[in-house]
Structure 1
């Protein structure tokens, strides 16, 4: 029998999605995989119900329906401080997962290096490996998750083809400051490196922090590939609508990669989602208020239980320090947490280079208040239950 591709042995299936299956097995509150348990905006659902009876059931244009691209261009132009062309600077993808994969495939050749900050969203290493590239990791240092400038430049001296920047960051919730982004941008110019940004949490940022788009900084438009998604902003993770925004010379090539990866994103969902892209500023202000409330509710609950944790500046994840439980295997800890305590989490080692950091688990708070309260109630007995288990 012929051998399976060697690349398949260099990464695992998604630990995040695996933990959802474990949550289902034990009927645990799923604070592992980052999707909400509340409804999308009513206006969006109403438009979706109408679209079901309209003529949007065949392929749209491969790189995105014209009205979707127009609405997205108008929205992001305001945010990014430049006029984005819906015809030449946008590709609509099947979620930001495909957007990131298409971006990496577009700019890298086999053997190229890609800089990745650690901790990182688990897909990034797989994206690089599937592209034939080699990840080069640079540490984000707890608890602020700042980076060492010398360490970062040392990585750039290896002449990588690209750096992947998740901002706001999953899993640590870091929001990169403008000064940090300018420093990264200066290195990208100095060493002629592309910047691939994952900005799916662009609208979930906690005061006094604010989101700065790398592509909006002086000299960075021509080398930045901005990837985004509607999943988190509009609570529609299952719709799988993402996008790439970049200069036309990059987009022309992203289109080709995208065409042979997925052909196109779902046409009826694009049509429905135009409604959300046309929301006014009040929607995004309400979204920030909603998640600020959920963050405060959840972190205050963790404080009452006495669990040490990070304080996210953006996104909706928190890293909880499990050092006191003296587990050698954080995956085993998460399995016990789901089966015995009834709460689902993700082992932190899946986010750190080489899987060597095992003192954290990741929880998320994109849930109804009552769901978070139930999870906190279960977590309140964590010490007694896990001690009995061990």
Structure 2
């Protein structure tokens, strides 16, 4: 009877966290775009062509019967391919048997890493504008994200701000380079400064490098794991969703010191069991057969797409921040108050969709409350004909 009364008093309901959670603004705008038949520049779906060797590798794997669970750390072929790739492109040496985990995308990798390394109440620094899924994942685990603002139009890192944000509860720093949504590529000087702070305060550095091959102009990608004294404390997360245009396949990876990887792998197994088996084979084929020429062409193709969209945004009256990497553009709507209705970025994004049929994401999705309300984020990883149509529609705004 007493137990029944306790249960009755508790009642049905959501968790303490759930009422504070809303659908991702990125996903919400994708739904709105589909509803009105718009051109979706909101979500980074990356619907460019998949390399033929990648699709054929996955199809062959299905036909050859590779349709069951893999080892929890992924197939050996892919782990070895990843090890070879990161050594040749980053100069990073990793043991495919002890230091590499094939994950369900970089997002799944981040979730498993956070579960393995952090406790409720820990604090983790990340840089603003930030990727919302990093923040949401930390909060879902009762870990406190602490935003450190990047400065100016070039999103410069102020190391004094980083030091000021550190408390006794700080356990790690998250670095997304090249970054979503700003397209910032952290410089060697900035990363060496962060490395010094991480060593001084005994912090992990979690580095999301999913856009490593999308670099423009003189920008260079540097993995913090390759810096002096950083290999043990750096957790590298990346994947092939963007590089091979297979965002729906969910093939990512983690590289971590052998002392950390078993716990990360345990939680990834608990959450996802394994990444899809035939897709692992398809990605392995891509890594094995596509080399530096492919990655260089990928960057050049997207640099041309960047220029297309930057030009159209300027013609439409928006003021774009030109990214050095990744495939997103943050653009200011200041001066368009008479054209785009609404007090918030979310309202202006919907106004833009209604007027032009082009979907963007509210910049506020990448900032703390009250910030980013004058910004919209646009994705240019689209087929040229779709991007050209979006540019035409944007220019109609003026």
Category of TM-score, reference length = shorter chain:
over 0.9
Any idea what the Cα deviations from partners look like across 1:219-276, whole Å, max 9, x if unmatched? 0001000000100011110101011101001111101111111111101110111111
Any idea what the Cα deviations from partners look like across 1:192-232, whole Å, max 9, x if unmatched? 11000110000001121100010000000010000001000
Distance in 1 separating the partners of 2:47 and 2:97: 35
Q: Identify unmatched segments of 5+ residues in structure 2.
A: 1-10
Q: Which runs of 4+ in 1 moved over 6 A?
A: none
Superposition RMSD in Å = 1.3
Q: Identify unmatched segments of 5+ residues in structure 1.
A: 384-390
If the length of structure 2 is used for normalisation, what is the TM-score? 0.93
Distance in 1 separating the partners of 2:88 and 2:55: 25
Distance in 1 separating the partners of 2:240 and 2:115: 22
1:132 aligns with 2:147: no
* Other-structure match for 1:386: none
Distance in 2 separating the partners of 1:47 and 1:262: 22
1:287 aligns with 2:302: no
Any idea what the Cα deviations from partners look like across 1:308-343, whole Å, max 9, x if unmatched? 110000000001101223331111111122223100
* Other-structure match for 1:356: 371
- Quote how far apart the aligned CAs of 1:108 are: 0.7
* Other-structure match for 1:209: 219
What are the within-5 Å matches in structure 2 for residues 1-390 of structure 1?
1-278=11-288, 279-326=290-337, 327-383=342-398
Relative to structure 1, the CA distance from residue 82 to residue 124 in structure 2 (aligned partners, 3 Å threshold; closer, same or farther) is closer
Q: Say which is worse superposed, 83-92 or 46-55, in terms of deviation.
A: 46-55
Equivalent pairs, count: 383
Q: Say which is worse superposed, 130-139 or 46-55, in terms of deviation.
A: 46-55
SS in 2 for 1:256: helix
If the length of structure 1 is used for normalisation, what is the TM-score? 0.95
Distance in 1 separating the partners of 2:32 and 2:152: 29
Distance in 2 separating the partners of 1:325 and 1:169: 27
SS in 2 for 1:152: helix
Q: Tell whether the 8 Å contact from 1:80 to 1:215 is kept in structure 2 after alignment.
A: no
Q: Tell whether the 8 Å contact from 1:168 to 1:201 is kept in structure 2 after alignment.
A: yes
Any idea what the Cα deviations from partners look like across 1:174-202, whole Å, max 9, x if unmatched? 00000000001100111111000110000
Relative to structure 1, the CA distance from residue 355 to residue 226 in structure 2 (aligned partners, 3 Å threshold; closer, same or farther) is farther
- Quote how far apart the aligned CAs of 1:50 are: 1.8
Q: Tell whether the 8 Å contact from 1:118 to 1:137 is kept in structure 2 after alignment.
A: yes
Any idea what the Cα deviations from partners look like across 1:341-369, whole Å, max 9, x if unmatched? 10000000010012532010000111122
